[in-house]
């Protein structure tokens, strides 16, 4: 992936973060998922008064893409921070890692942004080794 693509995905994750609905945790997350055909699907976290109903930004992006027929993915950028606080790298939660494993191989790229100009890159295989699948 080129530096330009990384920058563009991170920028899209921050745009998605603006839509986050997080009145309970005030932790705002945005994600931008790049499909192999170069389409991008954005997602934000969507919380609920019944907390367990809440959905992470990453899964929102995946659910949008999968429900539109996408099956092949290259990378996801994630940006998250508590409202009013400076950002830090935002690793995907365990549930999202497992969800990614359903559709992505171990080389799927995960960009964890700290700001629009700083991010860490790793693979799904690094974040969820020995993962379970059928
Ligand atoms: N959250 C995400 O959207 N993605 C993650 O990978 C970690 C957590 C959301 C869920 C909840 O709305 C808020 O962040 C605090 O946990």
Please list the pLDDT of the chain residue by residue as tens digits (134 residues): 999 999 999 999 999 999 999 999 999 999 999 999 999 999 999 999 999 999 999 999 999 999 999 999 999 999 999 998 988 999 999 999 999 999 999 999 999 999 999 999 999 999 999 999 99
CA distances from 131 to 7, 17, 37, 48, 94 (A): 29, 28, 26, 29, 11
Predicted pLDDT at 102: 98
Q: Which of 80, 72, 68, 67 is nearest to 100 (CA)?
A: 72
Which ligand 1 atom sits nearest the alpha carbon of residue 54? Answer: 12
Pairing type for strands 109-115 and 118-123 reads antiparallel
Residue 45 C-alpha to ligand 1 middle, in angstroms? Answer: 6
Question: Does the reported pTM lie above 0.85?
Answer: yes
Residue 47 C-alpha to ligand 1 middle, in angstroms? Answer: 9
Catalytic residue IDs = 58
Residue 28 host element (H or E)? strand 27-35
Nearest CA to ligand 1 atom 1: 56
Cα–Cα dist 44/1, whole Å: 23
């Amino acid at each position: 992936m080129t530096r330009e693509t990384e920058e563009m995905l991170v920028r899209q994750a921050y745009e998605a973060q603006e839509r986050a609905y997080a009145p309970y945790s005030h932790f705002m997350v945005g994600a931008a998922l790049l499909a192999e055909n170069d389409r991008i699907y954005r997602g934000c976290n969507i919380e609920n008064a019944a907390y367990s109903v809440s959905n992470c930004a990453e899964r929102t992006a995946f659910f949008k893409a999968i429900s539109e027929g996408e099956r092949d993915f290259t990378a996801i950028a994630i940006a998250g921070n508590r409202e009013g606080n400076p950002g830090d790298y935002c690793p995907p939660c365990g549930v999202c890692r497992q969800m990614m494993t359903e559709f992505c191989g171990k080389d799927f790229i995960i960009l964890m942004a700290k700001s629009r100009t700083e991010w860490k890159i790793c693979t799904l295989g690094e974040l969820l080794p020995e993962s379970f699948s059928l």
